[in-house]
A and B are shown apart, each in its own frame.
Chain A
């Protein structure tokens, strides 16, 4: 059998279905007034999912085009960047964290340093005032800024 993306996906989905089913069976229901209870629906879904996944394993579609190595690295970079942005969001405060995130993202999307810095400054400051003054959203100012002020 050819190894296709869909085959791997099918196997992964069968694993997921088994996991869902095991978790459903292990649910402890204290007492229920209704005949169905919380187990039946996820169980039924896991059976359906397993059936559909089997169909995928036996009749996989075309593979599609997957990112080559350089692009995959870039994808991971963007993901790591978003993760870092999330971690810095409250620590640094919205404005500095966003400035860093926008500059880095813009660079990853082929902007020059100057372009990236301008975009970062304008977006971080502009959006802060749009969100807080315009829409009344409370955004983190950051601990360090609080200490300085």
Chain B
């Protein structure tokens, strides 16, 4: 049953793929450490360039997955050193990470976060290896009706768990799905929402979409941050560079528990690193904060969210690889990247394209080791990336974005479309939307409609097929429960828990 993994290591250990895993880890850490650029932005900016290399699907995926996990590593730099989270998943890292840095323990804090990330990711990758094939075997039984119900469940779960406002999360997802309907309808050949523009017949290009939505809107947002000057602090001295074994062992319980928790949260569709970080931090605080040191530089308060957000990053590959439903915004981008190669992830991936599924999982093991090896000694070097001024960073992002979109068809229309989408993304972010649901909706929208129409074709138009099987009925009920419970529970318990208000990466 682990044949795919053996084949995968065969793929991942080829010199090219090994090099790509290393390159991805390095680029990801650098991009993650850049102020304001999280994993999702990093992948959005680098993905089009990865395509120009003409890599086979599994190699491109290995590179992108390396960037993803690397960026999760890099995201903590600014959290710990500057108290500014590099991305949403690193928000909880600031709580104990920055106080540690202020105590002169910045070096050990960076080291500890690297070790915790490694432990959390290892737990989750083991979980991924064990559970993904099992889930794939169950998912083989899914028909179009079940897949449709599953996507409804994914959107429901996302609305409740992601972002601060469920209504806005849902609106974002609907807007994403609507954007996916642009272009030729595959069933009938009818043109939808193309407004007579031939450039839109194939739909809005995925690369144009993510670069506009993430990179261009980020440029506009950075202008505001630059004006507020909130991120321009001085980097505290790192102190000693290595974390001691005693400190690591002190946190082993926190790492183990949070890694497991992060993996489970990562597997749930729509719930990403920020939820994992928040849940693990509060859990660990409740379990082990006997002296009330959490929040004032307790090492366990740093280890817990770090282990959890890396575990959730690996965990979110489980639904993506087995069901084709991404577990987070970033895996939605990876899913879109796979679809550009005409590979639709799903239960058959493990049997039909074991080199892709296995190669990816194997490369996660390798990338994880590479990241630990890179981050422990080189923390000081990466920390210097934080001092890159915005007047270099922003033009560089603009050049990457323009070239990334231009090289698709050597055509300016795509660039104008990218700018329009960028303004749209900026407005959404200013209005308190999270962009992850939009991209999830965009990636899943086409599949959702296809599955709905296929199911109804099978039944000859009878809507009952959508909830006829036990699996789909269960998914509908679970989706309904998710939507009703958060509204019902506080009324039953009368004690309202504080809500998370971070944007998901």
Interface of A with B (CB < 8 Å)?
5-6, 9, 13, 20, 23-24, 27-30, 32-38, 41-42, 45-46, 48-49, 52-53, 55-56, 59, 61-62, 64, 66-67, 71, 74-75, 78-79, 82-83, 85-87, 89-90, 94, 98, 101-102, 105-111, 115-116, 119-120, 123-124, 127, 131, 135-140
Q: With A29-B188, A41-B452, A86-B416 in contact, do A35 and B395 touch (Cβ < 8 Å)?
A: no
Chain B interface residue number, banded: 35 or more
B residues near A131, Cβ cutoff 8 Å: 403, 407
Q: Is the interface of B mostly helix, strand, loop or mixed?
A: helix
Residues of A within 8 A of B192 (CB): 23-24, 27, 38, 42
Q: How far is the CA of A52 from the CA of B227 in the complex (A)?
A: 34
Cβ–Cβ contact B52 & A136, under 8 A:
yes
Is B381 in the interface zone, CB < 8 Å from A? no
User: Smallest CB-CB separation from B219: which chain A residue?
Assistant: A78
- Contact call B190/A38, Cβ cutoff below 8 A: yes
Q: Evaluate contact between B223 and A48: CB separation under 8 angstroms.
A: no
Interface set of B (CB-CB < 8 Å, partner A): 49, 52-53, 165, 167-168, 170-171, 174-175, 177-178, 181, 185, 187-188, 190, 192-193, 216, 219-220, 222-224, 226-227, 389-392, 394-396, 398-400, 402-403, 406-407, 410, 412, 415-416, 419, 422-423, 430-432, 449, 452-453, 456-457, 460-461
Complex-state Cα separation, A120 to B460, whole angstroms: 62
DSSP class of A's interface residues: helix, strand, loop or mixed? Answer: helix
**Which residue of the partner chain, among B177, B394, B400, B419, contacts A45 with CB atoms under 8 Å?**
B177
When distances are taken between beta carbons in the complex, the residues of chain B under 8 Å from A53 are 171
Quick one: given A101-B395, A111-B391, are A32 and B419 in contact (CB under 8 Å)? Answer: no
Residues of B within 8 A of A9 (CB): 431
Q: Known A109-B390, A123-B395; judge A89-B406 contact (CB<8 A).
A: yes
Q: A37-B188, A38-B190, A119-B392 are in contact. List 12 more A-B contacts (CB 8 A).
A: A13-B171, A29-B190, A36-B456, A36-B457, A41-B181, A42-B193, A61-B432, A66-B430, A75-B220, A82-B398, A86-B412, A106-B392
A58 to B432, CA, bound (A): 17
Lowest 9 CB-CB distances: which A-B pairs, in order? A35-B461, A111-B391, A102-B395, A38-B185, A106-B391, A109-B391, A105-B395, A34-B457, A36-B453
Chain B: CB-nearest residue to A81: B398
Asked whether, in the complex, the Cβ of B171 is within 8 Å of the Cβ of A49, the reply is yes
Give min CB distance, A130 to chain B, whole Å. 9
